[in-house]
Structure 1
Amino acid sequence: MSNEKGRGDTVQNANKATLSRRKFMGDTLKTACGAGLLGLGMGTYSRQAESTPAWVIRPPGALAEEQFSGACIRCGLCVRDCPYDMLKLAELGEQVPFGTPYFVARD
């Protein structure tokens, strides 16, 4: 009898382990899909940002807006190296594409 009870416990533990593995894999898959959709949404949002308003001035020597948006890698080095602290990086919610530099004429 004790042998049968031991087998039952082993099977029950194996079922619990299988369920916990399945749950882990399912949760991991859901998280990965969610992160992928979030990244896709953020990329689409940044590409569909409105055109820059009249008060936004790009850094000196910048290309035309469409070419500039394609060429800028949003690293922030131009903002860091600006000697007069006039360049700022656009943040989420602003009318400028996220992460791109713009010139602030007056504060």
Structure 2
Amino acid sequence: MSVTLTPVALERVQRFLARDAAALGLRFGVERTGCSGWGHQAEVAHEQRDGDTVFDAQGVRIFVDARSLPLVDGTEIDFARQGLGEAFVFRNPNATAECGCGESFTTGPG
């Protein structure tokens, strides 16, 4: 089981975490959203919750809740320019399809 950060994403996450003295790491998971069912969620983690699995990405702790873990296992988090902006990009091997706008994804047989 793993969740990893590319070097570019690692640098960006480290910058976010450095701004928050109470930050323990990155909370990563999924939430029901969009037209395809699941959307990736990433935010600063201020606590470890019961049931969390914690991954270490070169010193950055990534907290994943038990419900999200099977849906994000193996995901590589990147940070890239998209159009006129920049955003985190999630390369999730469990996603079998994405909605047209890329906001949400499905897993399992289509």
Structure having the higher strand fraction is 2
Larger RCO of the pair (alpha carbons < 8 Å, separation 6+): 2
TM over 0.5: no
Pair member with larger Rg: 1
Q: State TM-score, norm by structure 2.
A: 0.22
